Amino acid sequence: MTVRVGVIGAGMIGQDHIRRLTDVVTAATVTAVTDIDASRAADVAATVGATALPTGADLIVSPEVDAVLVTSWGPTHAEHVLAAVAAGKPVFCEKPLATTAEDCLRIVEAECAYGRRLVQVGFMRRFDTGYRQMKEVLSSGSLGTPLIVHCAHRNPTVPESYTSEMAAQDTAVHEIDVLRWLLDDEIATAQVITPRATGRRFAHLKDPQIMYFDTANGVRIDLEVFVNCQYGYDIQCEAVGESGLVRLPDPASVGIRTAGGHGTAVLQDWKRRFEDAFDSEFREWIASVEAGAEATGPSAWDGYAATVITDAAVRSLESDGTVVTVDMKPRPALYGGTA
Ligand SMILES: NC(=O)c1ccc[n+]([C@@H]2O[C@H](COP(=O)([O-])OP(=O)(O)OC[C@H]3O[C@@H](n4cnc5c(N)ncnc54)[C@H](O)[C@@H]3O)[C@@H](O)[C@H]2O)c1
């Protein structure tokens, strides 16, 4: 069977995922597209022979749509995801699941009332080969108990519209999700401190930021978020255990020797860095829909947890580095496990 996908939001990532569902994932086809910019919806739909529909509500109930992809602006996600759950259709929602913890909880409650997982959230790092290898090593127990994780998330530059809060909400949120999954542990506290600021930033921005997280089992995570580092898009992660450590590999790259030096290029953007992860994420999501199985990727609960933890980090930033306790509701049985 070919899974017929309807896409809500035909902007930057929506168009990229439409291309992915059309050219990369063989078991899917995009049959419907909507956007509040109707002409954009019509243009993008025409490129793949899909129908442009007026609203997300129309798209979700369309008989031509088996599964829904939400790639609209964050504040509109909750409405679309809740409508998809009400219609009993699988829904993939780009991060964030919702912009408030309350809206995330409404989705969790709706899904629990439905009694089956329908929602997957777009945290693609869980599908990256390097992170998956790290998880295999950590889960094998060969390093003993994990104790410390050191991470860095660096972007070359960000636009003036990027705010200090976005360092947690849009940037660190990827580490927050992948570390909960890697460690199979929950984040219990968040603290954000701001060292000397780089001169190469817009004046309103606190950059870099150093974030500390403690897990329920006592693992200490430090994360440097530096979004004007100039030299490239660079993701580092190293987990230290009782008897060894495991480190995220850098992307494969040719070695270049020239002009008296040698080195490798550093990627400049997240799209290329995680391209394979995005492809795997969609292949696996479509395979689960095709099989009529529950999604196994990041759940609505993971979306809720990420929002609660980023809220705690923002509160710490706003209170000059206070350690903020993460206040999460009890995890419903539908979501099993620890994290
Ligand atoms: N996983 C990742 O690494 C990653 C990367 C980029 C973006 N994202 C997420 O994807 C989402 C979209 O980001 P983007 O960069 O593509 O933004 P964008 O502004 O380029 O595109 C969003 C589109 O949604 C449309 N839209 C807004 N409200 C709508 C509504 N109610 N109904 C239909 N269409 C609506 C807009 O007109 C626009 O075309 C955001 O939530 C963002 O955080 C995730």
If you measure from the C-alpha of residue 248 to the centroid of ligand 1, how many angstroms do you get, rounded to a whole number? 28
**Ligand 1 site-directed mutation target among 7, 13, 123, most atoms within 8 Å of CB:** 13
Chain segment 273-310, per-residue pLDDT in tens: 999 999 999 999 999 999 999 988 999 999 999 999 99
Share of the chain above pLDDT 90, in %: 98
pLDDT value at residue 112? 97
pLDDT at residue 70, rounded to an integer: 99
pLDDT band at 339 (very low <50, low <70, confident <90, very high): low
Banded model confidence at residue 338, pLDDT cuts 50, 70, 90:
low
Pocket lining for ligand 1, CB < 6 angstroms: 8-14, 34-37, 40, 56, 71-74, 76, 94-95, 122, 124
Is residue 205 predicted with pLDDT exceeding 60?
yes
**Ligand 1 nearest atom to the CA of residue 123, by list position:** 1
Say how many Å lie between the CA of residue 222 and the centre of ligand 1: 29
Residue with CA nearest ligand 1 atom 19 = 11
Residue 330 has pLDDT above 60, yes or no: yes
What is the pTM (predicted TM-score) of this model? Answer: 0.97
Tell me the best of 35, 60, 72 to mutate to test the pocket of ligand 1, counting ligand atoms within 8 Å of each CB and taking the most: 72
Residue type, 118: L
Check if the beta carbon of residue 251 is closer than 8 Å to that of residue 267.
yes
Report the percent of the chain where pLDDT is more than 70. Answer: 99
In this predicted model, what pLDDT tens digit does every residue of 155-201 receive, in sequence order?
999 999 999 999 999 999 999 999 999 999 999 999 999 999 999 99
CATH of 3-125+277-299, one of 3.40.50.970, 3.40.50.300, 3.40.640.10, 3.40.50.720: 3.40.50.720
Contact yes or no for 241/145 (Cβ under 8 A): yes
Q: Cα(99) to centroid of ligand 1, in Å? A: 13
Ligand 1, atom 41: nearest CA belongs to which residue? 74
**Is 145 or 336 the better-scoring residue by pLDDT?**
145
Mean pLDDT of 36-58: 98
Closest Cα to atom 21 of ligand 1? 11
CATH number of 128-267+303-335: 3.30.360.10
Q: Average pLDDT, stretch 33-55?
A: 98
- Span 56-69, average pLDDT: 98
Q: What is the pLDDT of residue 1?
A: 83
| Residue 44 pLDDT | 98
Give the residue, out of 12, 19, 60, 178, with the most ligand 1 atoms within 8 A of its beta carbon, to mutate for a pocket test.
12
Task: Indicate whether 57 pLDDT > 90.
Answer: yes
Give the start-to-end residue ranges of the domains of the chain. Answer: 3-125+277-299, 128-267+303-335
Q: What does pLDDT average to over the chain? A: 97
Ligand 1 centroid–CA 78 distance in Å is 13
Does the pLDDT value for residue 337 go beyond 80? no
Atom of ligand 1 nearest to the CA of 14: 16
Query: What pLDDT does 234 receive?
Result: 98
